[in-house]
Amino acid sequence: MSQAPLLTLDEVSKTYPGGGLVSRRPPVQAVKEVSFDIAPGETLALVGESGCGKSTIGRMILSLTGITEGRITYAGKNLANHSEPERRELHKRLQMIFQDPFGSLNPRKTVRSILSQPFLVAGEKDCESRVIDLLRMVGMTPPERFLDRMPHEFSGGQKQRIAIARAFALGPELIVADECVSALDVSVRAQILKLMRRLQQETKVSYLFISHDLGVVRSMAQRVAVMYLGRIVEIGTVEDIFTRPSHPYTQALLAASPLPDPKRAHLKGRLLLEGDLPSPSKPPKGCRFHTRCSFARPDCSSAEPVLKKHGSPQLVACHYADTLDPALPELAH
Amino acid sequence: MPKDVSQNGPILEVEGLHTILRTTEGVVRAVTDVSISVGRGEIVGIVGESGCGKSMTALSIMGLVPSPPGEVTEGRILLDSADLRSMSQSAFQKVRGRRIAMIFQDPMTYLNPVLTIGTQIDEMLRQHTGQNRKQREARILDLLRKVKIPDPERVAAAYPHQLSGGMRQRVLIATAISCEPELIIADEPTTALDVTVQAQVLELLKEIIHDIGSSLVLITHDLGVVAETCDRVYVMYAGRVIEEAPMQTLFENPQHPYTQGLLASILRVDQPVEELYVLDGTVPNLTAPPSGCAFRDRCEVAMDICRDQLPIPIATGPCAFAACWRIPQ
């Protein structure tokens, strides 16, 4: 990569302690030794099923939850070493958009007050005109009409626009978008994604785009990291991941995504995964995916594969990535 | 509206269904003049975005519209030619569960958290079959095996919270098929599940419907799910059916501008996206539905007539209809 990365995760792990007075719950390793970086203006997508640790990563980047091991570096500086004033400064540059705008917007505040908040916290006065600019920026026109309304008066799509406006208020460099269109209808989802793409072109913001929906990811990301039970199993460009998926789990995820195309839908049955996701509190030994992998061999249950180069710059954590059929020729178009 | 169904006649026929909700903001016309038929052994999809009336249609058929505020005001619902709306509550009770069963989106709200899985399936069997305890016990294990639950003895004794989302949905399917109903209505059965589990559950549903010779109404917002499951599709918008067609036809040759827009909005995993297609605007408020075509404000090809007159469904091919003034008469 030519540019210095904006954000770097270096062997980051997160373990939630077990506990409980009566029933001793085991600790849960939500994220294990995850490394990636994001360049300025880039969109990296984190995909995986529920419980794979993708949201935990987003929360660690925003310091909403602590890191157990490893290091997160932002603009060349370790996040853990920031002083309090530096941390506050940092929060202008790092923002988050959540899945449920109803939960993230205060139901008792007007749009004016919700969108003024970032400016007030940053110590800026006279923010009315900037709030109006923000509303215009996210396509809510005429802005004056919306200023004194409350969140419940808006549709899901409009609420998400307000949440996006708030995230962009202080000119962020990186936005963590956690399943930000999952709760929206197809037509509204396209509106929001288009808005986010336009804002990225205008402001050169980077996105860490967390989603379980591979179709959405394909339309938004330049690079994709696929996670399974707390680990990255494959990371590469959007082109690599979607046309040459090399990890059996990536292949299975792609095969399981419903295709709105009756002619091709029937092609896919053969890669159906068996079973459920194992519990993250007791991940399988060896390769975490071996219990559901149709290509698993005896040593997959003892030795844990590490991410290694498979093509360039694609990284895959599978012992047998080289010997597998670079599958799904029918899907890869 | 003429319908093409299998020789034995449809298992379900809904004609001119109207369902309203009385709210403080006024009367919401949730379902307006909906006609649907389901042939024997057929898997029929109802698709649309939130608020289009697809779930209310399902609840109306099941006689489960919450009242107040809801009420089915008009229409006929015929299950195997018997009118469900004119049935007494107690007669309906015997039909529900035994002849029509429903599968909901969120199994956790449907399953009772303090009863074991076995007890909950047993409730259905006790209600509708005359089997003794021993027979029912065997039947419960048999059902759990049928929905491919590993270790059925353990699951029968487990509580809902001890199971994963996919397992709970399988339990729901087991409950629904316990009396081998002629019709199953599944409302977003896989929406809360991860994609790999969704694929398993859809595959299972298809297989089971086929095995017990039942019919399925699949309500979903996901056209990908429709393409992989359904034989025929109804597209709903603002409480009305705006297009119906055999599944292949709908995907290859959608007629209504809304269906075309929906299909174009889908982000596919098998194609790169250069330009996002955006269907602008939002669904109309159903307390004061607009005159004419409800889609006209979002429609790229709207004409004057769309403002004043409601488009009537026009045949667009074999078993295919669409309600749009642009379609040549």
Residue A4's pLDDT is 86
Per residue in A243-276, pLDDT tens? 989 999 999 899 888 888 887 765 555 567 777 7
B4-8, B219-223, B295-299, range with the lowest pLDDT: B4-8
Which chain A residue has the Cα nearest residue B196?
A256
Asked if residues B65 and B240 have their Cβ atoms less than 8 Å apart, the reply is no
Check if B114 contacts A (Cβ < 8 Å).
no
Q: What is the DSSP letter of A272?
A: P
pLDDT in tens, B156-174: 999 999 888 888 999 999 9
Does the pLDDT value for residue A326 go beyond 80? no
Q: What pairing do the DSSP bridges indicate for beta strands A206-211 and A43-47? A: parallel
What pLDDT is attached to residue A34? 95
Length of chain B in terms of residues written = 329
CA distance A72 to chain B (A): 29
Number of CB pairs < 8 Å for A and B?
A: 132
B281: its two tokens: 């605007």
B25/B15 Cα distance (integer angstroms): 28
Q: Could you report the per-residue pLDDT of A93-136, keeping only the tens digit for each? A: 999 998 887 788 899 999 999 999 999 888 887 788 999 999 99
Q: Find the angle CA(A103)-CA(A136)-CA(B282) to the nearest 5 degrees.
A: 60
- Band of pLDDT at residue B2, cut at 50, 70 and 90: very low
Q: Does B192 touch chain A (CB under 8 A)?
A: no
CB B205 within 8 A of CB B186: yes
pLDDT of the residue at A332: 38
Give CA–CA dist B178/B124, Å, rounded: 7
* ipTM over 0.85 threshold: no
With CA atoms as reference, the chain A residue closest to B263 would be A260
pLDDT in tens, A63-74: 899 999 999 999
Q: Taking Cα atoms as reference points, which of A287, A305, A304 lies closest to residue A296?
A: A287
pLDDT of residue B3: 41
Dihedral over Cα of A170, A70, A249, A246: its sign: positive
Residues 6+ away with beta carbon under 8 Å from B69: B21, B22, B23
pTM of the full predicted structure? 0.87
B79: tokens are 């299950």
Determine the average pLDDT of the residues in A189-211.
94
A264 contact residues in B (CB cutoff 8 A): 270
In tens, the pLDDT along A288-306 reads 999 988 888 898 999 999 8
Q: Which residues of A touch B166 (CB under 8 A)?
A: 276
Please, are residues B75 and B85 in contact by the beta-carbon 8 Å criterion?
Answer: yes
Is the N-terminal amide bond of A118 cis, ω within 30° of 0?
Answer: no
Alpha helix ranges (H) inside chain A: 54-61, 84-93, 101-104, 111-121, 128-137, 156-168, 186-203, 214-220, 238-243, 248-256, 262-265
Query: Does the structure show a pLDDT above 90 at B254?
Result: yes
Using the predicted structure, report yes or no on whether residue B243 has a pLDDT greater than 90.
Answer: yes
From its phi and psi, is residue B188 left (phi > 0), alpha (psi between -120 and 50) or beta?
left
Going from the C-alpha of A100 to that of each of A159, A286, B85, B211, the distances in angstroms are 9, 36, 38, 40
What mean pLDDT, rounded, does chain A reach?
87
Query: SS3 of B207, please?
Result: helix
pLDDT level of residue B246 (50, 70, 90 thresholds): very high
What is the Cα–Cα distance from B131 to B115, expressed in whole angstroms? Answer: 21
Question: CA–CA separation, B25 vs A153, rounded Å?
Answer: 13
- Pairing mode of beta strands B215-220, B43-47: parallel
| Type of residue found at B169 | Q
Give the separation between CA A6 and CA B190, rounded to whole angstroms. 38
How far is the C-alpha of A325 from the C-alpha of A327, rounded, in Å?
5
Higher local confidence (pLDDT), A321 or B234:
B234
Q: B227 and A259 in contact (C-beta within 8 Å)?
A: yes
Q: From the CA of B289, how many Å to the nearest CA of chain A? A: 17
Contacts of B195 in chain A (CB under 8 A): 49, 212, 214, 253, 256-258
- DSSP string covering A50-118, please? TTSSHHHHHHHHTTSS--SEEEEEETTEEGGG--HHHHHHHHHHEEEE-S-HHHHS-TTS-HHHHHHHH
Is the pLDDT at A329 greater than 50? The verdict is no
Query: Do the Cβ atoms of A257 and B226 come within 8 Å?
Result: no
Kindly indicate the confidence band of residue A331, based on its pLDDT and cuts at 50, 70 and 90.
very low
**Closest C-alpha to B268, from A258, A187, A256, A67:** A258
